[in-house]
């Protein structure tokens, strides 16, 4: 009896009992559907989180003042520190440095006002933090030298003050009562793990120092954003920056008065969290697959009992143990395989629905169905059918022909 023949026969037998076959595979359909959907959503969430972290600026590191709790009187970071880090001889792994001064201030325009964060930046802020303007121009060296009273608005601030996000270049807003000319609007970034990046305004660093944000040390800065040449160079760059700052701040050994944070840390944390989440969801889905397999075993056992006479007849006509075994195994694996294929379809539909619900709620999750997940589901469901079909098939194969023929 060849495989093709037993495949056709198994198919006929399953089709002749449509309702039962479809109820039997329901467990597998739901199991595989759940696995596919969960993996797709998990992967989509990971992509989304990774994407939003990368959106902050590639290969980014942050340096701010203050180290572990034991370190007393940390020295503030200064523009001098930033310049030293920007020196390619001292820190060859660094490609961009953007010191910032940050504070909160009231921004107003003809009666409308909002309190938002005002950041004093250098022209390098744009490439380092991956901030671009949707209209107008970014802060440049001329603005810096002239301590110009110019400002770039985030879209949320623009919305609050003007009720629109475009066509605002050339308007004048007041920050803490001082007039600033709007030279551009920042591209919309959306929310991130650091709060909205659209609810802020940027002004030249020099202007901030001179007119808005006073610090005890004249040239101190709050956060220095640093871009490494590549993602792989981040650890190297971290080391170089630490060396420079230790030397400049004359810190004792193991008492750094600054902290260097990099994006890689965030990415790794996020990947670990979503990885655990995916395993967790996949595990739950796997349990339903197991339950589906037991359902198949149950039905196959019933089917063996029902068809005892048929098995007896086949044996009387010359079927060997192997023939009966193959017949029942083909049936059970065909059952679970078709359940698996329908389940893949179901999982795809579920992840489409979840994707559109997420999109409707402004959460940027696009579920991704990997080829590996599909392949895994197909193989796994067939294996489930084979495994759970083995016991019933073996029982059928070991029936005594005399007993089986006499069975009523």
Partner 1 sequence: MSEFVVEARDLRKVYIMGDVEVHALRGLSITVDPGEVVSIMGPSGSGKSTLMNMIGCLDRPTSGDYWLDGERVENLNDDQLASIRNRKVGFVFQTFNLLPRATALANVELPLRYAEKVKDRRKRAKEALEAVGLGDRIKHRPNELSGGQQQRVALARALVTNPAIVMADEPTGNLDSKSGDEIMELLLRMNADNGTTLIIVTHDPEIAAFTQRIIHIRDGVVEHETKGAKQ
Backbone angles phi, psi at 270, to 5 degrees: -65, -45
Compute and round to an integer the Cα radius of gyration of the chain: 33
Does residue 320 belong to the site contacting partner 1 (CB under 8 A)?
yes
* Min separation Cβ 314 and partner 1, Å: 7
Q: CB-based contacts of 96: which residues, under 8 Å, 6+ apart? A: 86, 124, 127, 128, 226, 227
| 240, containing H or E segment | helix 234-249
* Min separation Cβ 16 and partner 1, Å: 5
Buried b (16+ CB within 10 A) or exposed e, 17-55: eeeebeebbebbbbbbbbbbbbbbbbbbbbbbbeebbbe
Count Cβ atoms below 10 Å from residue 322 Cβ, excluding itself.
10
| 13/351 with CB nearer partner 1 | 13
* Min separation Cβ 317 and partner 1, Å: 4
3-state SS assignment for residue 20: helix
| 16/361 with CB nearer partner 1 | 16
Does residue 16 belong to the site contacting partner 1 (CB under 8 A)?
yes
Task: Give the whole-angstrom CA distance, residue 91 versus residue 236.
Answer: 9
| 111/318 with CB nearer partner 1 | 318
Among 231, 321, 366, 395, binds partner 1 (CB under 8 A): 321
| 4/89 with CB nearer partner 1 | 4
Judged by CB under 8 A, how many residues of this single chain contact partner 1?
Answer: 22
Does residue 73 belong to the site contacting partner 1 (CB under 8 A)?
no
Virtual CA dihedral for 131, 136, 139, 142, nearest 10 degrees? 160
| 77/334 with CB nearer partner 1 | 334
Among 164, 181, 214, 322, binds partner 1 (CB under 8 A): 322
Does residue 1 belong to the site contacting partner 1 (CB under 8 A)?
yes
Residue with tokens 């920042």: 186
x/- map, 263-302, partner 1, by CB under 8 A: ----------------------------------------
Task: Give the whole-angstrom CA distance, residue 82 versus residue 9.
Answer: 77
Q: Token pair for residue 231?
A: 């993602």
Among 66, 103, 191, 401, binds partner 1 (CB under 8 A): 401
| 12/69 with CB nearer partner 1 | 12
In the complex, the residues that contact partner 1 under the rule CB under 8 A are 1, 5, 12-13, 16, 309-310, 313-323, 400-402, 405
């Amino acid at each position: 009896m060849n495989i093709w023949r037993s495949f056709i026969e198994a198919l006929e037998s399953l089709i002749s009992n449509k309702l039962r076959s479809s109820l039997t595979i329901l467990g597998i359909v739901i199991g595989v559907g759940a696995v596919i959907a969960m993996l797709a959503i998990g992967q989509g969430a990971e992509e989304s989180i990774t994407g939003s972290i990368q959106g902050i600026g590639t290969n980014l590191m942050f340096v701010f003042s203050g180290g572990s709790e034991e370190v007393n009187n940390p020295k503030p970071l200064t523009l001098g520190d930033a310049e030293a880090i920007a020196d390619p001889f001292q820190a060859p792994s660094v490609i961009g440095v953007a010191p910032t001064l940050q504070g909160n201030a009231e921004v107003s325009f003809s009666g409308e006002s909002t309190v938002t964060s005002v950041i004093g930046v250098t022209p390098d802020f744009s490439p380092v933090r991956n901030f671009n303007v949707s209209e107008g121009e970014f802060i440049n060296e001329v603005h810096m030298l002239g301590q110009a009273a110019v400002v770039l608005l985030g879209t949320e601030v623009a919305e609050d003050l003007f009720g629109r996000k475009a066509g605002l270049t050339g308007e004048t807003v007041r920050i803490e009562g001082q007039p600033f000319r709007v030279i551009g609007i920042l591209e919309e970034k959306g929310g991130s793990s650091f709060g909205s990046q659209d609810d802020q305004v940027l002004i030249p660093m020099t202007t901030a120092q001179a007119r808005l944000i006073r610090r005890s040390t004249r040239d101190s800065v709050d956060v220095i954003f640093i871009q490494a040449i590549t993602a792989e160079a981040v650890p190297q760059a971290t080391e170089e920056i630490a060396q420079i700052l230790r030397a400049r701040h004359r810190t004792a050994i193991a008492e750094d008065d600054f902290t260097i944070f990099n994006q890689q840390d965030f990415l790794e944390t996020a990947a670990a969290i979503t990885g655990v989440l995916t395993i967790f969801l996949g595990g739950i889905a796997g349990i339903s697959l197991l339950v589906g397999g037991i359902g198949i075993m149950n039905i196959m056992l019933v089917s063996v009992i029902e068809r005892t006479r048929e098995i007896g007849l086949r044996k009387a006509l010359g079927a060997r143990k192997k023939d009966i075994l193959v017949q029942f195994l083909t049936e059970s694996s065909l059952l679970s395989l078709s359940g698996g294929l329908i389940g893949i379809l179901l999982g795809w539909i579920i992840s489409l629905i979840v994707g559109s619900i997420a999109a409707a709620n402004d959460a940027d999750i696009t579920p991704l169905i990997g080829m590996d997940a599909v392949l895994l589901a197909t193989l796994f469901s067939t294996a489930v059918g084979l495994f759970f079909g083995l016991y019933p098939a073996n029982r059928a194969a070991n029936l005594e022909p005399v007993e089986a023929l006499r069975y009523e």
